[in-house]
Amino acid sequence: MKVVLVGYMASGKSSVGKQLAKELGLEFVDLDNYIEQEQQNTINGIFQEKGEIFFRKLEHQMLSKVLEEKQNMVLSTGGGTPCYAGNMNTILAKSDHSIYLQLPVMALVNRMAIEKDQRPLVKDLSEDELAEFVGKHLFERRNYYSQATLVLDCLDKSIEELITEIK
Ligand code: S3P
């Protein structure tokens, strides 16, 4: 069984994905980590040295590769993955279940403010700029995320509660 998690940065894709994979007895794959291993570089490093267009092409190739290669896994994607190069159609075609971890803008901003240095798209923004950026960005991206086979409202829910709902 292949399950793919999609959603904005800091929506909990990796934490939920790890626990879900454990409980379902599936391998957990994080697409950003997969890219980092393949490139022997961090996501920040790839953005800085090669730029976003290079990253998006790589992300597209690695998504197709991992979905072809692995038959049983929970895959956590990057926040932008479903929004480029027809990737959401690939996810829908090549997985059994796709899940959008949905959170409102302010909840995402609060989470991102704590760990924004690891994220090249937002690391140089002030808190006000971050809120404005996330608001606009999520508005553009949610049409892609919403195509997932399950839309999960994640506000104020623990990982365990989310896993129970998914199951
Ligand atoms: C991105 C999200 C990141 C990572 C890259 C770009 C995005 O993944 O792929 O920094 O465009 O939203 P996370 O959602 O795991 O932070």
Q: What is the pLDDT of residues 41-71, one digit of tens each?
A: 999 999 999 999 999 999 999 999 999 999 9
Q: Can you give the pLDDT at residue 25?
A: 97
- Give this complex's ipTM: 0.98
CATH architecture of the region 2-166 = 3-Layer(aba) Sandwich (3.40)
* Cβ-contact 159, 12 below 8 angstroms: yes
Q: Token pair of 66, please?
A: 């991992």
Mutational test site, ligand 1, from 121, 137, 154, max ligand atoms within 8 Å of CB: 121
- Between CA 55 and CA 60, with CA 57 as vertex, the angle to 5 degrees is 105
For the chain, residues with pLDDT lower than 50 are none
CA–centroid distance, 75 to ligand 1, in Å, is 14
| Phi (first) and psi of residue 83, to 5 degrees | -95, 5
Residues in a beta bridge with 75? 4, 29
Q: What is the distance between the alpha carbons of residues 163 and 48, in angstroms, rounded to a whole number?
A: 36
Domain boundaries, the chain: 2-166
Q: Give buried/exposed letters for 70-102 (b at 16+ CB in 10 A, else e).
A: eeebbbbbbbbbbbbbebbebbeebbeebbbbb
Nearest CA to ligand 1 atom 16: 9
